[in-house]
Amino acid sequence: MNNITLADWAILHFLYTDGYDSRLRAAKLADIDVDKKPDSLYRRLKTLCNAGYVSTGMSDGRLHTYYITPRGIEFYNEEDFRE
């Protein structure tokens, strides 16, 4: 993903640091604490899903959940972004 935005980075950071890293341990849209409106956050999550950095977890009723994938963790841990 070449066009990583600050919002994308914030989403990855939140999912990684809060331990949302599996289908069972996934965050609802409302749980993701970044400074974005829900519709903007949903679009960013969709972009991250398409890039393979985030995936959908198990549904919570009718709500989608999201977690960081191993590829997303690898990307998050790249030195260029951690400095």
Q: Which helix (H) or strand (E) holds 79?
A: helix 79-82
Residue type, position 36, single letter: K
| Residue 20, pLDDT score | 96
Give the pLDDT confidence of 23-78 residue by residue, as tens digits: 999 999 889 988 778 788 999 999 999 999 999 999 888 889 999 999 999 999 88
* In the predicted structure, residue 83 carries a pLDDT above the cut 70: no
Of the candidates 29, 3, 8, the one whose C-alpha atom is nearest the C-alpha of residue 72 is 8
| CA angle 38–69–37, rounded 5-degree value | 10
Domains, in order of start, for the chain: 6-82 (1.10.10.10)
The residue whose two tokens read 């849209």 is 29
Find the DSSP H helices in 1-77.
Answer: 6-17, 38-51, 70-76
pLDDT confidence tier of residue 2, bands split at 50, 70 and 90: low
User: What is the per-residue pLDDT for 82?
Assistant: 56
